[in-house]
Amino acid sequence: MERTLSIIKPDGVGRGLIGEVVKRLEESGFKIIAMKMIHLTQARAEGFYAVHKERPFFNSLTSFMTSGPVVVMALEGENVIEKYRTLMGATNFKDAAEGTIRKAFATDIEKNVVHGSDSPETAAFEIGYFFNSFEIIG
């Protein structure tokens, strides 16, 4: 069993896509083991995306991620990291496959509706960044 962190980004929450994303997660067989809605501060967004701090899009990305509330979830399932990334689609929605969340809903390379961890190490860091052990129903 593997775990991953999912975020419905401010564009997804603001456009009323929480239910749509959660429906796709459940239909894919992922188990939601933790869930909350939060409004990130600038410092918390910068800490979350610290791996990207040298990237030209870092300031824009962190201000986007603080522009409204987000829904964070921990998901569990077999091979869920890769399966959820497949369900999300490519970072740039223009390259995303049919049937993916980003193909259906993303409007911009930055405003791409969802986040997903990219490795077991990243997933452990990211889940711990938002949830303590009492908040995870696993």
Q: Find the helix or strand (DSSP H, E) in which 59 lies.
A: helix 58-65
Applying CB under 6 A, the residues found at the interface with ligand ATP are: 57, 61, 91, 109-110, 112, 115-116, 118
105 closest CA partner among 29, 18, 42: 18
Q: Is 52 among the residues known to form the active site?
A: no
Min. distance of Cβ 132 from ligand ATP in angstroms?
22
Burial class (CB in 10 A: 0-12, 13-18, 19+), 3: buried
Give me the catalytic one of 9, 102, 111, 115.
115
What residues have CB less than 8 Å from 57, skipping those under 6 apart?
110
Closer to ligand ATP by Cβ: residue 33 or 109: 109
Closer to ligand ATP by Cβ: residue 11 or 137: 11
Closer to ligand ATP by Cβ: residue 54 or 133: 54
Q: Which residues are catalytic?
A: 115
